[in-house]
Amino acid sequence: MSYLSVEQLSINFGGLRAVDNVTFTIQEGQIHGLIGPNGAGKTTIFNCITGFYHPTSGTIHFRGQDITHLRPDQIARHGIARTFQNVQLFRTMSTLDNVLVAKHSHMRTGVVAEALALPFVHQQERMVREQAQAILTFLDLARVQRQAAGNLPLGLQKRLELGRALALDPTLLLLDEPAAGLNTAETQILAQLLRHILDRFHLTILLVEHDMGLVMNVCDTITVLNFGRKIAEGGPHEVQNDPEVIKAYLGENVDAEKR
């Protein structure tokens, strides 16, 4: 059984079909790339998987359960977390507090227990803080844990958003263009980090990314979209040499120019 299964997914916005009958599956423990030119429907599929959009037709199953029409908070409780194309941090809060906010969303103390300051509340608070600091240490952010998130360089902000997603204890992590705005050195560090995250947190990752170097280096399997439709799927080498993929990225005239 596949870990995540997207089956015949379509979504319309008025008269525009943004995603057209797309099917793909993700295997547990892999990094699966979802790529394509601008407007191919990648982020729209992300928004369907995470409950921000509801598809016009088709289904999404996660670990055998139908999550097609669940709310974002319900999907998060199933173990799916995401980052965004544009960094979405609490900019005036500290780096540590940004991660603690995510960790607190999983606490099960209740208002009464917190109001009475029962001992187990303090124990859980201490455990949550230790877990948040461990994530920051793993991401090499402990040195800036007291700095306001909005004052961090973009590369560290992207890493912090990744840490906040990890704080939700996901089993499936959706990354929306994590290399956008990063320089070559930062992108290389990100590639190494994604593999370390996979091993350390025992995750499965769905990656949307325009940096083809990163995609080809880290992904086990890649699904390629163009104009909302799936045009190719396979391993990095297979996809890289697919004529339809080359045409989608380089244009219709690429074959004529070779003659």
Q: What is the pLDDT of residues 190-241, one digit of tens each?
A: 999 999 999 999 999 999 999 999 999 999 999 999 999 999 999 999 999 9
Distance of CA 232 to the CA centre of its chain: 21
Give the integer Cα–Cα distance in Å for 178 and 7.
Answer: 26
Centre a 10 Å sphere on the Cβ of residue 105 and count the other Cβ atoms it contains: 13
Mean pLDDT within 134-147: 95
Q: Collapsing DSSP states into helix, strand and coil, what is residue 252?
A: coil
pLDDT digits (tens, 9 = 90+) for 34-54: 999 988 999 999 999 999 999
Structural domain boundaries of the chain?
Answer: 1-79+170-259, 89-163
Q: At a CB cut-off of 8 Å and minimum separation 6, what does 27 contact?
A: 2, 3, 204, 220, 221
Q: CATH for 1-79+170-259?
A: 3.40.50.300
pLDDT score of 112 more than 90: no
Q: Collapsing DSSP states into helix, strand and coil, what is residue 229?
A: strand
pLDDT for the residue numbered 115? 46
Judge if pTM exceeds 0.85: yes
Mean pLDDT within 16-39: 95
Contact 35, 58 (CB under 8 A): no
Mean pLDDT within 92-113: 74
